[in-house]
């Protein structure tokens, strides 16, 4: 059986040929938290069993899209600066550094 995800549950077969279901929202590892269904069941029958367990309230529908990703206002604000690499002498570096400091001081005073 090909590994399948259905309503937030993974349906797969282990190396002994046993079919199992694993909740993707589980804090435990797949090996320790899988529920063995048996051997030789059709995928449609396993999906029906998951639906029945959800309907009876034994299992919950797993919302796989409720976490992660970017949030508005999160993270460090962008400054617009980019890293550049140029080759200069020590004298040129000091002059460039002074020029940049003057430009940034001018931005703060405005």
CA distances from 12 to 15, 36, 56, 67, 94 (A): 10, 10, 23, 24, 64
Cβ–Cβ under 8 Å, residues 13 and 19: yes
Provide the pLDDT for residue 94: 96
Cβ–Cβ under 8 Å, residues 63 and 8: yes
pLDDT digits (tens, 9 = 90+) for 22-75: 888 777 777 777 888 888 888 888 888 888 888 888 877 655 555 566 777 888
Cβ–Cβ under 8 Å, residues 48 and 6: no
Q: CA 52 from chain center: how many Å?
A: 29
Provide the pLDDT for residue 98: 94
User: Would you list the domain boundaries of the chain?
Assistant: 4-55
pTM: 0.48
């Amino acid at each position: 059986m090909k590994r399948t995800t259905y309503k937030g549950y993974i349906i797969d077969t282990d190396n002994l040929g046993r079919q199992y279901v694993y909740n993707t929202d589980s804090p435990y590892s797949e090996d320790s938290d899988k529920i063995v269904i048996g051997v030789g069941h059709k995928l449609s029958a396993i999906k029906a069993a998951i639906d029945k367990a959800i309907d009876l309230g034994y299992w919950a529908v797993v919302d796989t899209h409720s976490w992660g990703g970017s949030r508005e206002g999160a993270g460090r604000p962008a400054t617009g600066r980019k890293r550049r690499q140029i080759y200069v002498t020590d004298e040129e570096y000091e002059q460039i550094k002074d020029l940049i400091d003057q430009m940034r001081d001018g931005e703060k005073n405005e």
